[in-house]
Every structure is written in structure tokens, then in C-alpha cells.
Amino acid sequence: MIVAVVGPTATGKSDLALDLAEALSGAAAAEIVNADAFQLYRGMDIGTAKVPPAERRGIVHHQLDVLDPQQDASVARYQTEARADLDAAAERGARAVVVGGSGLYLRALLDHLDFPGTDPAVRAALEERAEREGRRTLHAELERLDPAAAASIGPSNTRRIVRALEVIELTGLPYTANLPRQEYVRPTVQIGLDCDRATLDARVESRVERMWDAGLVEEVRGLAAPAQGGSGAGLGVTAARAVGYAEVLRWFAGETTEAEARTAVVANTRRLARKQMGWFGRDPRVRWLDAGSGHLLDEALAVVRAADAGTLAAPGSEPVRRSLGS
């Protein structure tokens, strides 16, 4: 049974994952698999709240520091490599504890989710048609081929319309047939950490203050290209979008002041937390616990043991705790 610790940022997921990994180690030590998209990057440590090696308690961690900041992260590649980590841990008899707040990455790892390939020629032809005929014409075609996809995408999102039509042409199946299903590929129990909005906002502010004091600005400067005021090779498109890094880069570019950048990091981290809660809150399989509980580890272990024994209540049969999203 895989254990996944999920939920919004700043709720203490990494600490609980470490505690669970220690408590669940048996004949073989439990291992942690990261599911935070930005912790994949080498050198992006402070701004992603990556657990330093010295604080990992000797527990093996996977999917940390596997990409250079100039590389673009790929969910499909992560799925392949992280699932291989799960397989290897199982072969060693080790319990896998997955932890992170990147919803799509978690779904790609834990659930049935296929990634159809791409064809540059097909995509180019569709993009040319969108330019020549208009995106509404392509949306009408999508509505005829896959009404559910057309309803969810809408007529103004040219990029997603093109992608949907590309997938349909390449696979011969509706685009929606390739969307994720809430169906685990391996037995899994998800533990979600929740707390009320005021508490989380305060946690976020304290976290940003600690990051600033720990040297976030210097970290970004060391990663940024000289043209951005730094000494490194620069951050790729994906890495440069990370909260904490994007705001500091704008300050380096002269678009904001340091104070404005810091305020923006707090605001955008809070916005990210609400987005994450919306994502995980839609999954009825998540078992929510109060992040501020004084007995959090015991409560989490009780969920895991019930899941192991097959006595965990069915999804939807228990009261839903989603105070952040309320």
C-alpha cells in the first residue's frame, strides 16, 4: 500500500512524510518519492522548501535534484521515472511514501493517466488552420468529435483546442478518453493536510520570511543568467515560473522593488495554496487530517493501518474536512 501525503503548501507535508517513513519502516526502510514539480530541480532548494540532505534522517529520497534548472519539466517523463522508483522500492520490500502538492504529477504517478504523443506536422497544420479559419471553426469541429472536451475547453483557448484535435487525430479516440481517471494503478491511500484559511495564511507568511532570511534572493541570483542580474546559466521556462523565483526575477529585471517582490511571493503562495486545495478537494479518496493536530502522526498511522487492513471507510462515507476551500 503506497502512502501519499498531499495538500496545499505550508501545511507540513514533508515533516509528516518523514515521520511516516520512520514509523512505517519494517524489514526494509521506507522510502520517500517526491511529487513536487519544482523540487525536481537542482539548486532550487530554499524557494521550494526542499528538505536539506542533513535533515532527511537517512531516509532514501527519490525524484529530488534530477533536472537542471534550464530543462523543462515533463509530467510524462516524471511518470515513467517515478513509477520506476516505486517498482524498485517494492522489489526491495520497502514502503513508498509519496509527498508533494503538484496535483497533476501526483495523478500521473498514482492514477491511470496516459500521455498521447505529439506530431509536429499535425500540430502545425492545426495551428495554421486556427490562424486561417479562426479558432471557433476548430472548436466547432472539436464539439462534433468530442462534445465533452469542447464543453470543458471553451472556444477561446486555441492551444488546448489544437492539442485536443491533435490527440484525436493521432489516437483515433476522443480527447477525453485520455484524461486522468480517479483509479489507482497500485493500492494507495492518500492523506491530506488541511487547516483553516487564517492559520494557513500565517504559515505562508512565516515561511516566506524564513526563506528570505535563509538566502532565497542569493539562491535565485546564483541560478539566474547574467542578463537577469545573476551568475548562473539561467532558469528555463518551467523553473522560472516557480513561486518565489518568478517574483525575484522580476525584481532583478527592474520591474518591481524588493519589498514588492516579497509581498508578491506571499500573495502568490497563498493563491497557490487555494488552487492546490481546490485540486485535492475534488478527490473524494483523500483522507483529510488537521495539519495543526497535536496527534497528527498517530492519526495518519491509524489511516494507513486501516487501509492496510482493508477496513478504511469507503470514499464519501465520512464527513469532508475542507476548511481551506470553504
**Phi, psi dihedral angles at 66 (to 5 degrees):** -110, -5
Q: Among residues 19, 38, 21, which one has the least CA distance to residue 30?
A: 21
Which residue shows C-alpha cell 524564513?
210
Angle at which helix 103-110 crosses helix 258-281, to 10 degrees, equals 40
Alpha helices in 176-295, H assignment, sequence order: 197-214, 216-223, 245-252, 258-281
Residues making up the binding site for ATP: 7-14
Q: What is the C-alpha to C-alpha distance for residues 234 and 224, in angstroms, rounded to an integer?
A: 4
> Coil, strand, or helix at residue 21?
helix
- Residue 245's Cβ-side half-sphere holds a number of Cα atoms within 13 Å equal to 29
> Coil, strand, or helix at residue 269?
helix
Residues making up the binding site for substrate: 9-14
Q: What is the C-alpha to C-alpha distance for residues 44 and 15, in angstroms, rounded to an integer?
A: 19
Which residue shows C-alpha cell 493536510?
193
Residues making up the binding site: 7-14
